[in-house]
Amino acid sequence: MGIGPSTKETTRHHFKDPLLELLGDDNDCRPVGVIVVGIAADYESKKYIIDRLGTWVGALKPDGAIVSMDSWGNSHIDFNLLLEKLSNMKITAVGLCFQGKQAEPVTPNSSHAVVVDTSKSPGGRETEILGENNINRQDARKALAMLKLLSN
Partner 1 sequence: MSQKAEASTKRLVIKVYHVEEVKFAPESKFEGGTLFVEHENLPLSGELVPLLSRIEVDILKPGQLHREVPSILDVIPIACKVLGRLGEGITHTLTGVSTVLTLADAGGKPPAQIGSSAGFLNEKMLTDRPGTPSGRDFIILIRLNLKEGVTFSRKGIMAAHQAADDYLQKIRNQLKKIDGQAYTEKHVFEELLDHGKKKVLLIKLLPGQGAMHDFFVLPNEPCGVEGSRSIIDLGNMPVFLTPNEYRDGALRALT
What residues numbered 91-150 form the site for partner 1, per CB under 8 A? 126-132, 134-137, 144, 147
Residues in the interface with partner 1 (CB under 8 A) total 74
Which run of H or E residues covers position 94? Answer: strand 93-97
> Is 59 an interacting residue with respect to partner 1 (CB under 8 A)?
no
Alpha-carbon span 122 to 69, nearest angstrom:
21
Residue 107 or 128 having the CB closest to partner 1:
128
Residue 88 CB coordination number (10 Å): 11
Question: Residues 20, 87, 105, 109: which binds partner 1 (CB under 8 A)?
Answer: 20
C-alpha span between 22 and 142 (Å, rounded) = 11
- What gap in Å lies between CA 142 and CA 119, rounded to an integer? 13
Q: For residues 29-58, which are near partner 1 according to CB under 8 A?
A: 29-41, 45, 49, 52-53, 56-57
* Residue 141 Cβ vs partner 1, minimum distance, rounded to whole Å: 13
